[in-house]
Amino acid sequence: MNRLKLVRPTKEYEDQVMAYKEAFEKNQDSFDGCAGLEEVEDYEEWLDFEVRLSAKYKESYVPSTVCLAVRTEDNKVIGIIDYRHWLSDFLLQYGGHIGYSVLPSERGKGYAKEMLCLMIEKCKEEGEKKLLLTCDKSNTASAETIIANGGILENEVYDPAGSDEGGVTQRYWIHIKPGKQIYRQKQELYAKFEFRNIRLEEAEQAAEIERICFPPNEACSREMMFRRVAKAPELFLAAVAKDTGKIAGFLNGLSTDENSFRDEFFTDAELYDPEGRNVMLLGLDVMPQYRGRGLARELMNCYLKRERKRGRELILLTCLESKVEMYEKMGFRDRGISRSAWGGEQWHEMCFRMD
Name the more confident of 329 and 282: 282
Euclidean distance between CA atoms 159 and 149, whole angstroms? 24
Euclidean distance between CA atoms 84 and 97, whole angstroms? 5
Greatest CA span in the chain, whole angstroms?
66
Euclidean distance between CA atoms 182 and 294, whole angstroms? 9
Q: Return the pLDDT at 162.
A: 55
Residue-wise DSSP of 315-349? EEEEE-GGGHHHHHHTT-EEEEE-S--GGG---EE
| Residue 262 backbone dihedrals phi, psi, to 5 degrees | -145, 160
For residues 129-155, average pLDDT: 92
Convert 235-252 to b/e letters by CB count within 10 Å (16 or more is b): bbbbbbbeeeeebbbbbb
Q: Does pLDDT of 109 surpass 70?
A: yes
219 Cβ contact list (under 8 Å, min separation 6): 210, 211, 213
For residues 197-215, average pLDDT: 97
37 Cβ contact list (under 8 Å, min separation 6): 17, 20, 21, 24, 31, 46, 80
Partners of 73 in the beta sheet?
A: none
Q: Looking at this protein, which amino acid is placed at residue 170?
A: Q
Residue 174 buriedness (CB in 10 A; 0-12 / 13-18 / 19+): buried
SS percent in the chain: helix, strand, coil, step 5: 40, 25, 30
Q: Using CA atoms in the order 353, 282, 305, 64, what is the torsion angle rounded to 10 degrees?
A: 30
Greatest mean pLDDT range, 52-61, 183-192, 236-245, 330-339 = 236-245
Q: Return the pLDDT at 164.
A: 47
Q: Return the pLDDT at 342.
A: 95
First to last CA, the chain: 37
Per cent of the chain over pLDDT 70 is 96
Q: What is the mean pLDDT of the chain?
A: 91
**227-253 pLDDT, tens per residue?**
999 999 999 999 999 999 999 999 999
Euclidean distance between CA atoms 66 and 59, whole angstroms? 20
Lowest mean pLDDT among 90-99, 100-109, 124-133, 212-221: 124-133
**Cβ atoms of 246 and 240 closer than 8 Å:** yes
Q: How far is CA 212 from the centre of its chain?
A: 28
For residues 217-222, average pLDDT: 96
Per cent of the chain over pLDDT 90 is 74
**156-187 pLDDT, tens per residue?**
998 876 554 558 999 999 998 766 666 677 78
Q: How far is CA 177 from CA 42, 56, 128, 150, 182, in A?
A: 39, 34, 9, 11, 10
